[in-house]
């Protein structure tokens, strides 16, 4: 399948707050070698998509703070393909800006939007489903997502309810987007077999997503369209810096997808993890006989189980009597926290007043 009209957009502007203290404001998790493979998560993501398109058709959506990190880690990505947000206004404005920029280049463009920090083991199936979604979008006026077939009643993900009565083979119409559920509701979703996880992987033509913005969130489009001649020129960043802060801060899910009547999904079994928390990393990585993940070369553990321990290779770590914990030791910060309370790490980080530790 030829992909001259396909553009990949990788979203890399987040701070990864639930991965504190390893993920910091100056260098968040997408730029870290979280998996210990010698490459950062964003480098692995770009490599995955280079099996589909050349680097010149890959764009990076990020915060201005991280432009130098992007250039350092992704030297093959053209500078003009880095979209630098001057302010974090959630995911709708950056997707609108992306669509406007790409549409100015190629009115027949199809855009694949994907996070920069996900792990996908079945990459061949993933790319096959992405190609299927691209083909469908090029021939139908739809907005597509790649839904992840759930393997457990997870309360950390949003869900997508599918309408099996309106389907085209493996492509199913979306009935409703559901917020992160409680455990009982998540179990109902899993048992019904009619829900997939919302992974934040989107496929649409530039023309169709711009049409949806015009219908559902036109304020953002009007602000960013003040002078479209500035896009894809040397004046682009100055233009973005001026107009972008005036856009409404709202997610693409709320602004567009939850209102759309033409949203579809492809349920996908691709061995996926969003690596959003230390627990998700613990679940993903190989474990010892006590279900521990030991990212600490020198360690002595006694009566320790179902725990993730990360520490500098030169440091000796001795732990006794811990179950279901996270022990994350960085140069200037130490986190010892129950895995069951991991969602509170974000709040802990917000309460830290000394910016040296953020």
Express each pLDDT in 280-298 by its tens digit: 899 888 999 999 999 998 9
Q: What is the mean pLDDT of residues 331-346?
A: 90
> Residue 167 pLDDT > 70, yes or no?
no
- Measure the CA–CA gap between 311 and 295, rounded to whole angstroms: 6
> Residue 326 pLDDT > 60, yes or no?
yes
Residue with the two structure tokens 């998509």: 49
How distant, in Å, are the alpha carbons of 122, 181, 205, 214 from that of 225? 39, 37, 18, 11
Q: Give the per-residue pLDDT at 1.
A: 67
Query: Is the peptide bond between 302 and the residue preceding it cis, with omega within 30 degrees of 0?
Result: no
Main-chain phi, psi angles of 60, to 5 degrees: -120, 120
CA angle 153, 154, 155 (to 5 degrees): 115
Q: What is the mean pLDDT of residues 310-331?
A: 92
Query: Of all residues in the chain, what percent carry a pLDDT higher than 70?
Result: 99
- Measure the CA–CA gap between 334 and 319, rounded to whole angstroms: 14
CATH 3.90.550.10 positions along the chain are 6-273
- Measure the CA–CA gap between 84 and 13, rounded to whole angstroms: 9
> Residue 169 pLDDT > 80, yes or no?
no
Q: Which two tokens stand for residue 293?
A: 């993940």
Q: Which two tokens stand for residue 234?
A: 């040397």
Average pLDDT, the chain: 92
298 SS3 class: strand
Q: Give the per-residue pLDDT at 235.
A: 96
309 SS3 class: strand
Q: Give the per-residue pLDDT at 350.
A: 81
Specify the pairing of strand 293-295 against strand 308-310. Answer: parallel
> Residue 31 pLDDT > 80, yes or no?
yes
User: Could you say which architecture CATH assigns to the domain 6-273?
Assistant: Alpha-Beta Complex (3.90)
Q: Which two tokens stand for residue 122?
A: 């079945």
> Residue 73 pLDDT > 70, yes or no?
yes
Residue with the two structure tokens 């040296």: 356
163 SS3 class: strand
Which DSSP category does 149 fall into?
Answer: P
pLDDT in tens, 204-227: 999 999 999 999 999 999 999 999
Nearest CA among 214, 255, 333 for reference residue 89: 255
The sign one gets for the Cα dihedral 55, 56, 59, 65 is: positive
- Measure the CA–CA gap between 151 and 72, rounded to whole angstroms: 36
Which DSSP category does 254 fall into?
Answer: I
Q: What is the mean pLDDT of residues 165-170?
A: 66
- Measure the CA–CA gap between 173 and 157, rounded to whole angstroms: 20
Q: Give the per-residue pLDDT at 135.
A: 95
168 pLDDT tier (thresholds 50, 70, 90): low
348 pLDDT tier (thresholds 50, 70, 90): confident
Nearest CA among 148, 95, 99 for reference residue 120: 148
Q: Give the per-residue pLDDT at 193.
A: 87
Q: What is the mean pLDDT of residues 115-132?
A: 94
Specify the pairing of strand 171-178 against strand 6-11. Answer: unpaired
Q: What is the mean pLDDT of residues 114-128?
A: 93
| Reported pTM | 0.90
Which range, of 73-77, 197-201, 210-214, averages the lowest pLDDT? 197-201
- Which has more confidence, 169 or 299? 299
314 pLDDT tier (thresholds 50, 70, 90): confident
């Amino acid at each position: 399948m030829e992909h001259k009209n396909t553009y990949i957009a990788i979203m890399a502007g987040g701070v990864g707050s639930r991965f504190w203290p390893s993920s910091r404001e100056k260098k968040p998790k997408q730029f870290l070698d979280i998996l210990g493979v010698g490459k950062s998560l964003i480098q692995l993501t770009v490599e995955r998509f280079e099996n589909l398109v050349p680097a010149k058709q890959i764009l990076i959506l990020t915060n201005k703070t991280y432009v130098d990190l992007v250039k350092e880690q992704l030297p093959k990505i053209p500078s003009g393909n880095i979209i630098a947000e001057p302010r974090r206004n959630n995911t709708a404005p950056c997707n609108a800006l992306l669509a406007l920029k790409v549409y100015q280049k190629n009115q027949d463009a199809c855009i694949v939007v994907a996070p920069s920090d996900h792990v996908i083991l079945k990459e061949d199936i993933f790319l096959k489903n992405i190609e299927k979604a691209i083909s469908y979008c090029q021939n139908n006026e739809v907005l597509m997502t790649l839904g992840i077939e759930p393997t457990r009643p997870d309360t950390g993900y949003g869900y997508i309810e599918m309408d099996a009565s309106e389907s085209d083979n493996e492509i199913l119409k979306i009935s409703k987007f559901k917020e992160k559920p409680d455990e009982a509701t998540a179990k109902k979703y899993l048992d019904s077999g009619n829900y997939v996880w919302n992974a934040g992987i989107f496929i649409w033509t530039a023309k169709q997503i711009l049409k949806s913005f015009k219908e559902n969130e036109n304020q953002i489009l009007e602000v960013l369209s003040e002078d479209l001649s500035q896009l894809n020129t040397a004046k682009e960043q100055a233009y973005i810096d001026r107009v972008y802060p005036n856009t409404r801060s709202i997610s693409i899910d709320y602004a567009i997808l939850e209102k759309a009547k033409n949203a579809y999904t492809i349920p996908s079994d691709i061995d996926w993890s969003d690596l959003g928390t230390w627990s998700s990393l613990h679940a993903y990585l190989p474990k010892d006989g006590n279900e521990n993940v030991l990212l600490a070369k020198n360690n002595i553990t006694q009566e320790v189980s179902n725990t993730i321990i990360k520490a500098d290779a030169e440091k000796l770590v001795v732990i006794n009597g811990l179950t279901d914990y996270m022990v994350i030791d960085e140069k200037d910060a130490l986190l010892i926290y129950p895995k069951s309370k991991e969602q509170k790490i974000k709040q802990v980080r917000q309460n830290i007043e000394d910016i040296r530790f953020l």
